[in-house]
């Protein structure tokens, strides 16, 4: 499993500070295009026509968003129209639509809130709090080290060398080393990773990053607990929790200071940054395929909100569009 390979490579890397492995791995030496990222995900996960090139395995859900008013986002249309409908997709990382859900690692959330005027506000997040690279070139370089050679073998030493040579990958690498298996999507926190801005009517600008916290708390499975689960269990677990009670999430915004990077998703902001509540998502249904053809592009935002100049964030729009087109044409 890809997540296991990555985690073991990372674990070894963190123990070889004085290793003699030559640092031949480097970030891509040319500007990476969206097609490059889509292609490498397909190379890593295999060809699966009709599926997303990343986060191929997932489940749909729907619910409502009830906003929480606060002074930092005053007059935001997203927070000024009462209860709004929400479409969601929870997912596993990678391009394999048949991924083993017992494996630790990446879980994702795409969420689209529809406003009364027909516009949308999109949230796209993962369960890790920091991205694997400061820019598309570094991320692509890291993924490239995971590709097998002509004999189908991967080279963990290459991955280890890359992580050692590229500090912006290391925090995510540490997270992967320690990651456990999420017990349920309903017990998973999700992080937007990127920086966004809100401009209010008075011309004041709020710099923020968002995260989504589950009302049922974060719960994971250790290795032995995960081994006892069926290969596919997340959809059934979520449906059972929904039947037994309320499944909800709170959207929080961390307010950034001038010195906090707005262009590097591999840099976490200090934990002491103030947080304000944007609202609550309450899930009402799960399952079905209503979200199948939704493109959860995080750069699609409601009035007043704008994305930062983060190059990874900006790369998401064309990469998602290419993947979306391939999916619709069964490629």
Check residue 231 and report its DSSP letter: S
DSSP-derived 3-state class of residue 1: coil
Contacts of 232 (CB under 8 A, 6+ apart): 101
DSSP string, 94-144: SS-TT--TTS-S-EEEEEEEEPTTS-EEEEEEESSSS-S-SSHHHHHHHHH
Element (H, E) at 178: helix 167-178
Contacts of 138 (CB under 8 A, 6+ apart): 27, 28, 132, 166, 168, 169, 266
The burial of 148, by beta-carbon neighbours within 10 Å (0-12 exposed, 13-18 middle, 19 or more buried), is given as exposed
Cα–Cα distance for residue pair 189/60, rounded to 1 Å: 17
- What's residue 18's pLDDT? 30
Contact call for residues 329 and 224 (beta carbons, < 8 A): no
List, for the chain, all residue ranges whose pLDDT scores fall below the cut of 50. Answer: 1-25
Catalytic residue numbers read 55
pLDDT in tens, 69-88: 888 998 899 999 999 999 99
What residue spans in the chain does CATH classification 2.40.180.10 cover?
Answer: 57-126+181-328
- What's residue 30's pLDDT? 81
- What's residue 274's pLDDT? 97
pTM of the model: 0.91
Sign of CA dihedral 40, 32, 166, 269: negative
- What's residue 27's pLDDT? 62
Of 210, 182, 205, 320, nearest to 258 by C-alpha is: 205
- What's residue 2's pLDDT? 45
Contacts of 256 (CB under 8 A, 6+ apart): 195, 207, 208, 209, 262, 269, 273
Ramachandran angles phi, psi of 34, nearest 5°: -60, -35
Cα–Cα distance for residue pair 301/298, rounded to 1 Å: 7
- What's residue 204's pLDDT? 86
* Beta strands 196-199 and 190-191, pairing class: unpaired
Cα–Cα distance for residue pair 191/211, rounded to 1 Å: 4
- What's residue 200's pLDDT? 84
- What's residue 28's pLDDT? 63
SS3 content of the chain, % helix, strand, coil (to 5): 30, 25, 45
| Domain 57-126+181-328 classification at class level | mainly beta
DSSP-derived 3-state class of residue 317: helix
């Amino acid at each position: 499993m890809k997540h296991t390979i990555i985690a073991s490579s990372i674990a070894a890397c963190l123990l070889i500070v004085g290793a003699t492995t030559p640092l031949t791995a480097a970030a891509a030496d040319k500007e990476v295009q969206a097609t490059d990222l889509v292609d490498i995900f397909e190379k890593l996960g295999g060809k699966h026509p009709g599926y997303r090139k990343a986060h191929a395995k997932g489940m749909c859900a729907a619910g409502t968003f009830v906003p929480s008013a606060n002074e930092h986002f005053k007059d935001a249309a997203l927070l000024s129209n009462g209860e709004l409908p929400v479409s969601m997709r929870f997912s596993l990382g990678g391009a394999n639509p048949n991924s083993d859900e017992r494996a630790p690692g990446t879980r994702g959330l795409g969420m689209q809130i529809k406003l009364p005027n027909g516009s949308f506000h999109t949230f796209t997040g993962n369960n890790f709090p920091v991205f694997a690279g400061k820019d598309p070139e570094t991320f692509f370089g890291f993924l490239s080290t995971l590709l097998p050679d002509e004999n189908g073998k991967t080279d963990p030493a290459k991955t280890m060398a890359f992580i050692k040579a590229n500090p912006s990958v290391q925090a995510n690498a540490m997270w992967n080393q320690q990651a456990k298996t999420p017990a349920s999507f309903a017990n998973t926190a999700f992080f937007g990773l990127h920086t966004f801005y809100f401009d209010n009517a008075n011309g004041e600008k709020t710099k923020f990053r968002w995260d989504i916290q589950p009302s049922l708390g974060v719960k994971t499975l250790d290795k032995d607990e995960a081994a006892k689960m069926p290969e596919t269990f997340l959809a059934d677990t979520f449906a059972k929790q929904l039947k037994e009670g309320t499944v909800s999430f709170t959207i929080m915004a961390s307010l950034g200071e001038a010195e906090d990077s707005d262009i590097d998703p591999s840099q976490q902001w200090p934990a002491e940054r103030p947080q304000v509540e944007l609202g609550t998502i309450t899930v009402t249904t799960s399952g079905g395929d209503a979200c199948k053809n939704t493109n959860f592009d995080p750069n699609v935002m409601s009035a007043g909100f704008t994305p930062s100049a983060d190059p990874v964030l900006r790369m998401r729009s064309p990469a998602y569009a290419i993947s979306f087109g391939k999916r619709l044409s069964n490629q």
